[in-house]
Structure 1
Amino acid sequence: MKVLRKNGGTPDKFLSGEETRCWRLARRLTQPELAKWLGVSPQAVSKMEQRGVSRVVALALAAIDRGLQPMKPSPEDYEAAQQPIRKEDMDEGE
């Protein structure tokens, strides 16, 4: 049994669908525009506006509000991710 939050959402939803839709409309974004920013389909945005969004999506919306641009990993990022982490590298960061 799911317990409802005060705003009518379920515990796994950080923003209700109505809150998500209001956020988008207040910023004068279309569903396809927001979908592009989030890296999802316009249909996924529509679903978010019906069902609500998790904390992760809410954080992405907050990042958009702060003017952060969508990020795509560069080839250098992928290369760095493949390198093993050495113990001495970890000790230097402490």
Structure 2
Amino acid sequence: MDTDQQRPPERKPLDRPQTPDELKFYARNYALLALLALILFLPFGILAIYFSNQTNKANKCSEWEDAYRNSSRTMWFNMLAILAFIGIIYILVLVL
């Protein structure tokens, strides 16, 4: 198999400014919540930061489907990081 077929296409920035209608479609990137997830539980926080960055890139290239997909993944990893932190604290309180 050719490796070029397996690799996703590179995002190319638009050669024009985005219109106001396009700006309305921007997906949320949850950057601050991703930073909190990074502080609370590092493994999920790193993934949240990564998908938040991918959301920004997709928004700038007007790739709305990828932007919303990555935005959803960012939120899932944010919630998983918070739940993992709460679980660790809960276990530590029960053991100590």
Instruction: Answer yes or no: same fold by TM over 0.5.
Output: no
Q: Which structure is richer in relative contact order (CA contacts within 8 A, separation 6 or more)?
A: 2
Q: Which structure has the larger Rg?
A: 1
User: Which structure dedicates a bigger proportion of its chain to helix?
Assistant: 2
Q: TM-score if structure 1 supplies the norm length?
A: 0.31
